[in-house]
RNA sequence: GCUCAAGUGGCGGAAUUGGUAGACGCGCUGGAUUCAAAAUCCAGUUUCUUCGGAAGUGUGGGUUCGAUUCCCACCUUGAGUACCA
């Protein structure tokens, strides 16, 4: 019987589905293990061979853990809200739910045909109301919480109200808005309800605020910082401008320190941790306030990481947008300052970022008073100071900061040197280690650390500053002017947002005529006719019923893409629970994700927000651990191997790659499906595909073939290098695809795909099959295995087990090949060898393993068969082939008994004729012998 | 600019705590089988070579009996980040 992958794979995929083989139970005597993939966005293009790489790796691990006796949770679902479906809806008028449903069908079919062991009974879709009900529910929990910096956790808003009622907000240490007013308990009592709500909003973990946002006119929405790349939108590359809007925000900044600390407790890739660390951007320093000369009561607050250099301040720079600018500018400077402010406002953020070389700024004419020396320092404005970071003002220390130095040089401002024996005639000295402060009153003679501490102490004593830790992490804007996202469970009463009671969730997306923003610029939900909340009937009703007494308008924004993905991993633990987000029982059993596999592009988006929500849920007692994923692996990207043909410029002539030298040619992408493994192009197919070359002249090689040139690029439709897993599964099978994807190289690395290589793993599968089948007959011996056969088996068990534990899946594929090659050479068909071998291979190539397992007479699936136990005794050798080296270079090998002593080895080796030939009469200085390893003769 | 990762045959890559560099596979070459092809099987395949050997893991240096592996400097590529005070 021949190996027929199509028949076998279909058979077992149906078997697994019918028997619900991979359905995970929420309790078990076995230890639990939770393996998760970052769930996909179901795009219209379907999967290409790069997408399943991580899924294959996690599936191998999940299957391995089942063999090892674990109760494995391995779910899958869809991140099904998102921009592409909505863009498609705008273009075609099709409801995004419809296209999303179709895309999911394609995804599911493609995933099923690769043979993943997912528990599909737990599937979630972020766009399903049964799912986003809980996304809305968490939003309400965040709204009803504040962050207490004293207890260092989120608490219910009622505890804050209790404090306000008792003693006002004077002693409250909370993460909150900057511009809060101070009040005592009597003040609080006297406030109107609206006023109270406005104040509470400044403390809530999700809050409304007028923020400068990144507005993308082309997409008609606001974008988060991590959705912008190089000043343009990540999706589509559209320009982004700053705009003030009322938006929901998440007070993630409250968790900055804990998000940083948590990184040390989780086994995540270092580069990913580094980028989160950078994104959070912790810096230690001091706040210093400078009085303004002649402006009683006006102060300029600055943040500095170098309080030790405070005596090096020779001027100050404010962001042009800084609110004090207009107050302090002198009449003489007014015109110039105003012109500069106006000019900067016109420049886009992108312009300002791109242009870091040009130095510009204007003197305000005002002077600040140095807090220690009392000297007057000039106050300038300059666009190198960003309004959005720190206080929007800096104390400039030109000798210690290159930007300040350049600014000072450019405008002829003095550059006092406050470092001992440091030359600052050419550049600033920004290195803080190993220098001694000079010309600095009480700080002179001290080094960075001590000087900083002392400076802060003195600032605090004088009441003009204090030590402070600053974070770059901004609160995350949570509103999107989009249709295809979670609606907020929010209505507005007298302009104050009100939460809808959790029992009435989900608030489902309304139907709209058009998916575009309204003509007056409101978000797409502004088009909905039935989008008002009746507080008596507790239901969504028609807008014309709005009376602001019992019927109120609903929120028009929707939530961003990361809302649905910030808690899905917990929901999988209890996905059909209608009464709770998950039961306590289930979350206590599954705890957290043990292994999470996905792309590194989510470093500062999904993975940061999800950690934030998890910590919040931990604070509120909803989850037992404050990090959701113990271990995380970033799989590398699979790149495409593009094919190019060359057209002679100005002529309709296409030249084979070896003959382009000396010609002026343009490369043209050819579809990789027209190119064979020897890089030869099917010219007729190419002509048919690109009719404009129908009559082109093709200059071929001497032998009549036409060769393309190859280049590795990202796999993408526009480069015609996409390989579809459907085609691979059809021709070679899912088992071959799985083995080949792993065989390409280490999981974390990027590597190019070349379909021609798959024949290696395919013939491996055929060889494996032939160990069982002698021609048409299944031929299995029950004889006892030989020593050699046992050695091959146990060597393989050891290596494969080590490899899987180390996520080194590429090397186990080689190990399987070696094992099958050796067993073929030994003509081994012994049950005692082949049975455990099948279990080893089963995580990688589950279909063929199941088929042969059943042919061996098993009635049950192989999925839970015990992983074979490695026994050292089968690998014990009596001799060793020693490499004999001369000065570290191996020259020949010699088989010697392992019983020999060092002296005996030396004697035997030295007596050998090849040793003498190597030495050519010289006497060795030294002979190094490591028994069982190596002999090295020196001299 | 800064941070991180990586440089090994024609290609993807392997090499446990420093101990036989190039496992395994692709491709290529030759052969067997075949009317022929596919498939399969066998042999070879880092480079140079006077066929004895010699050199060789981005470059240069160092530590060591011995370095792809450890240290220093540099070069290249990729990723992230970017006036963050």
Question: Using one digit for the tens of pLDDT, what is the confidence trace for A370-380?
Answer: 999 999 999 99
Per residue in A836-852, pLDDT tens? Answer: 999 999 999 999 999 99
Instruction: List protein-proximal bases of chain B (any atom < 7 A from a CB).
Output: 3-5, 11-16, 19-21, 23-28, 39-41, 54-55, 65-67, 78-85
Contact indicator for A371, A286 with CB cutoff of 8 Å = no
Q: Is the pLDDT of residue A511 over 70?
A: yes
Instruction: Report the percentage of chain A scoring pLDDT > 90.
Output: 56
Q: Which residue from A318, A357, A359, A358 is spatially nearest to A341, judged by alpha carbons?
A: A318
Q: Looking at residue A349, what is its pLDDT?
A: 56
Instruction: Report the protein residue whose CA lies nearest the C1' of nucleotide B25.
Output: A760
pLDDT tens-digit map of A708-751? 888 888 888 888 888 999 999 999 999 999 999 999 999 998 88
Q: Which nucleotide is nearest to A818 (CA to C1')?
A: B24
Mean pLDDT computed over A280-301: 90
- E strand residue ranges, A75-234: 145-148, 153-156, 174-175, 206-216, 221-223, 228-229, 232-233
Q: Burial-class residue A352 by CB neighbours within 10 Å (0-12, 13-18, 19+).
A: middle
Q: Is residue A158 part of a domain?
A: no
Q: What is the pLDDT of residue A897?
A: 82
Q: Could you tell me if A892 and A866 lie in one domain?
A: no
The CATH number that applies at residue A934 is 3.10.20.590
Whether residue A694 sits in one domain with residue A546 = no
Residue scoring higher pLDDT (A152 or A882): A152
Residue A258 lies in a domain: no
Q: Does residue A693 sit in the same domain as residue A569?
A: no
- Looking at the structure, tell me whether residues A864 and A886 fall in a common domain: no
What is the arithmetic mean of pLDDT over A617-623?
Answer: 96
Taking 90 as the threshold, does the pLDDT of residue A356 lie above it?
A: no
**Are residues A428 and A507 both part of a single domain?**
no
Q: CA angle A913-A916-A918, nearest 5°?
A: 110
Supply the DSSP symbol for A785. P
Spatial distance from the CA of A885 to the C1' of B47 (Å) = 21
Q: What is the pLDDT of residues A771-829, one digit of tens each?
A: 998 877 888 889 999 999 999 999 999 999 999 999 999 999 999 999 999 999 998 99
pLDDT of residue A297: 85
Asked, for residue A721, whether it belongs to a domain, the answer is: no
- List, for residues A384-440, the tens digit of each pLDDT value: 888 878 888 999 999 888 889 989 988 999 999 988 888 888 888 887 777 888 888
- Say yes or no: A393 and A508 in one domain: no
How far is Cα A319 from Cα A381, in angstroms, rounded to an integer? 6
Q: What is the mean pLDDT of chain A?
A: 89
Q: Which single residue has its CA nearest the C1' atom of nucleotide B80?
A: A275
Same domain, A896 and A778: no
Mean pLDDT of A66-93: 92
Side-chain-side CA neighbours of A421 within 13 Å: the count stands at 4
What's the number of domains chain A is made of? 6
Whether A770 maps to a domain, the answer reads: yes
Element (H, E) at A915: helix A913-919
Q: Return the structure tokens found at A648.
A: 């002679």
Specify whether A746 is located in the same domain as A890. Answer: no
Is A22 a domain residue? no
Q: Which of A603, A634, A665 is the last residue of a domain?
A: A634
CATH of the domain at A565: 3.40.50.620
Domain end among A634, A659, A681:
A634
Gap from A278 CA to B3 C1', Å: 9
Strands A32-37 and A593-598: parallel
Both A830 and A882 in one domain: the answer is no
Are A654 and A524 contained in the same domain? no
CB A34 within 8 A of CB A593: yes
Shortest-distance nucleotide from A304 CA to C1': B85
Separation of A804 CA and B16 C1' (Å): 15
From CA A43, how far away is CA A208, in angstroms rounded?
A: 32
The answer to whether residues A587 and A552 belong to one domain is no
Give the pLDDT confidence of A623-678 residue by residue, as tens digits.
999 999 999 999 988 988 888 888 888 888 888 877 777 777 888 888 888 887 67
- CA A270 – C1' B69 distance (Å)? 21
Q: How far is the CA of A76 from the C1' of B79 (A)?
A: 28
Residue A310 lies in a domain: yes
- Tell me whether residue A549 is in a domain: yes
Residue A36, domain member (yes or no): yes
> Gap from A417 CA to B39 C1', in Å?
81
CA dist., res. A361 & res. A382, Å (int): 4
Give DSSP secondary structure letters for A265-332: GSB--HHHHHHHHHHH-EEEEEEEEEEETT-TT-EEEEEES-GGGGGG--EEEE-TT-TTHHHH--HH
**CA–C1' A351–B1 (A):** 18
Claim to verify: residue A370 and residue A304 sit in the same structural domain: yes
Residue carrying structure tokens 């798959």: A758
Give the domain CATH number at A373.
3.90.740.10
Q: How far is the CA of A738 from the C1' of B7 (A)?
A: 28
User: Which nucleotide is nearest to A471 if distance is taken from CA to C1'?
Assistant: B84
Domain that holds residue A883: 877-938
Residue where a domain stops, chosen among A714, A746, A761: A714
Residue nearest to nucleotide B3 (CA to C1'): A274
* Nucleotide nearest residue A888, measured CA to C1': B66
CB atoms within 10 A of CB A552: 19
């Amino acid at each position: 019987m021949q190996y027929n992958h199509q028949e076998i794979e279909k058979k077992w995929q149906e078997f697994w589905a019918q028997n619900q083989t991979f359905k995970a139970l929420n309790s078990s005597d076995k230890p639990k293990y939770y393996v998760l993939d970052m769930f996909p966005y179901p795009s219209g293009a379907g999967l290409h061979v790069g997408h399943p790489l991580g899924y294959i790796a996690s599936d191998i691990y999940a299957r391995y853990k089942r063999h090892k006796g674990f109760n494995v949770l391995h779910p899958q679902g869809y991140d099904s809200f998102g921009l592409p479906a909505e863009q498609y809806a705008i273009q075609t008028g099709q409801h995004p739910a419809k296209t999303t449903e179709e895309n999911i069908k394609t995804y599911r079919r493609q995933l099923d045909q690769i043979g993943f062991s997912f528990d599909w009974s737990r599937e979630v879709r972020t766009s399903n109301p049964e799912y986003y009900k809980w996304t809305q529910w968490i939003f309400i929990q965040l709204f009803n919480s504040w962050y207490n910096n004293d207890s260092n956790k989120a608490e219910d808003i009622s505890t804050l109200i209790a404090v306000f009622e008792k003693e006002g907000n004077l002693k409250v240490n909370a993460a909150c808005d900057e511009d809060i007013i101070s009040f005592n308990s009597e003040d609080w009592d006297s406030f109107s309800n609206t006023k109270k709500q406005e104040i509470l909003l400044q403390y809530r973990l999700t809050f409304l605020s007028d923020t400068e946002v990144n507005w993308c006119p082309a997409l008609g929405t606001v974008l988060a910082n991590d959705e912008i790349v190089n000043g343009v939108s990540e999706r589509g590359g559209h320009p982004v401008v700053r705009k003030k809007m009322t938006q929901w925000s998440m007070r993630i900044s409250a968790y900055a320190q804990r998000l940083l600390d948590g990184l040390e407790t989780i086994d995540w890739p270092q580069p990913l941790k580094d980028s989160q660390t950078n994104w959070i951007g912790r810096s230690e320093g001091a706040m210093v306030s400078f009085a303004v000369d002649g402006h009683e009561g006006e102060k300029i607050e600055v943040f500095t990481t170098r309080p030790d250099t405070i005596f090096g301040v020779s001027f100050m720079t404010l962001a042009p947008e800084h609110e004090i600018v207009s107050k302090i500018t002198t009449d003489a400077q007014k015109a110039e300052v105003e012109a500069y402010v106006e000019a900067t406002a016109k420049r886009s953020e992108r312009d300002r970022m791109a242009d870091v070389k040009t130095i510009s700024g204007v003197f305000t004419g005002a002077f600040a008073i140095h807090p220690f020396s009392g000297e007057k320092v000039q106050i300038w404005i300059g666009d190198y100071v960003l309004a959005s970071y720190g206080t929007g003002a800096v104390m400039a220390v030109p000798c210690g900061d290159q930007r300040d130095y350049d600014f000072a040089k450019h405008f002829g401002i003095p550059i006092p040197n406050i470092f001992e024996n440091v030359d600052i005639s050419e550049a600033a000295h920004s290195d803080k280690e190993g220098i001694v402060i000079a010309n600095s009153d009480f700080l002179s003679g001290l080094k960075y650390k001590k000087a900083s501490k002392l400076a802060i102490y003195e600032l605090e004593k004088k009441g003009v500053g204090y030590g402070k830790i600053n974070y770059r992490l901004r609160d995350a804007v949570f509103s999107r002017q989009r249709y295809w996202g979670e609606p907020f469970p929010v209505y507005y009463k007298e302009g104050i947002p009100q939460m809808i009671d959790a029992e009435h969730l989900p608030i489902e997306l309304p139907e709209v005529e058009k998916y575009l923003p309204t003509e007056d610029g409101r978000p797409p939900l502004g088009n909905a006719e039935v989008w008002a909340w009746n507080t008596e009937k507790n239901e969504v009703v028609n807008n014309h019923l709005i009376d602001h007494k019992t019927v109120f308008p609903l929120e028009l924004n929707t939530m961003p893409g990361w809302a649905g993905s910030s808690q899905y991993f917990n929901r999988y633990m209890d996905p059909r629970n209608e009464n709770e987000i998950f039961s306590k029982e289930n979350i206590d059993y599954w705890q957290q994700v043990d292994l999470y596999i996905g792309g590194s592009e989510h470093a500062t988006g999904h993975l940061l927000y999800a950690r934030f929500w998890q910590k919040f849920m931990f604070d509120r007692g909803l989850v037992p651990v404050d990090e959701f994923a113990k271990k995380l692996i970033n799989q590398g990207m699979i790149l495409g191997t593009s094919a190019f043909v060359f057209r002679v410029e100005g002529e309709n002539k296409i030249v084979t790659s070896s003959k382009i030298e000396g010609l002026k040619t343009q490369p043209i992408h050819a579809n990789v499906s027209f190119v064979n493994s020897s890089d030869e192009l099917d010219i007729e197919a190419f002509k048919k595909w690109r009719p404009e070359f129908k009559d082109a002249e093709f200059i071929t090689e001497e032998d009549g073939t036409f060769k393309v040139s190859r280049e590795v690029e990202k796999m993408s439709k526009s480069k015609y290098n996409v390989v579809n897993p459907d085609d691979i599964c059809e021709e070679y099978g899912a088992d071959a695809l799985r083995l080949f994807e792993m065989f390409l190289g280490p999981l974390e690395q990027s590597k190019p795909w070349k379909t021609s290589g798959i024949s290696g793993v395919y013939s491996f599968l055929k060889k494996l099959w032939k160990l069982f089948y002698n021609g048409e007959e299944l031929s299995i011996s029950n004889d006892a295995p030989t020593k050699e056969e046992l050695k091959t088996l146990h060597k393989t068990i050891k290596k494969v087990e080590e490899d899987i534990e180390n996520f080194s899946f590429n090397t186990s594929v080689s190990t399987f090949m070696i094992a099958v090659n050796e067993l073929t050479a030994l003509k081994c068909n012994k049950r005692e060898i082949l049975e455990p071998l099948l279990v080893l291979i089963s995580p990688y190539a589950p279909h063929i393993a199941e088929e042969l397992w059943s042919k061996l007479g098993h009635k049950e699936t192989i999925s839970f068969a015990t992983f074979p136990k490695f026994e050292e005794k089968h690998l014990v050798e009596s001799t060793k082939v020693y490499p004999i080296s001369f000065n570290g270079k191996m020259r020949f090998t010699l088989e010697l008994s392992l019983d020999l002593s060092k002296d005996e080895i030396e004697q035997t080796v030295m007596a050998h004729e090849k040793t003498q030939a190597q030495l050519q009469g010289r006497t060795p200085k030294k002979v190094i012998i490591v028994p069982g390893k190596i002999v090295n003769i020196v001299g």
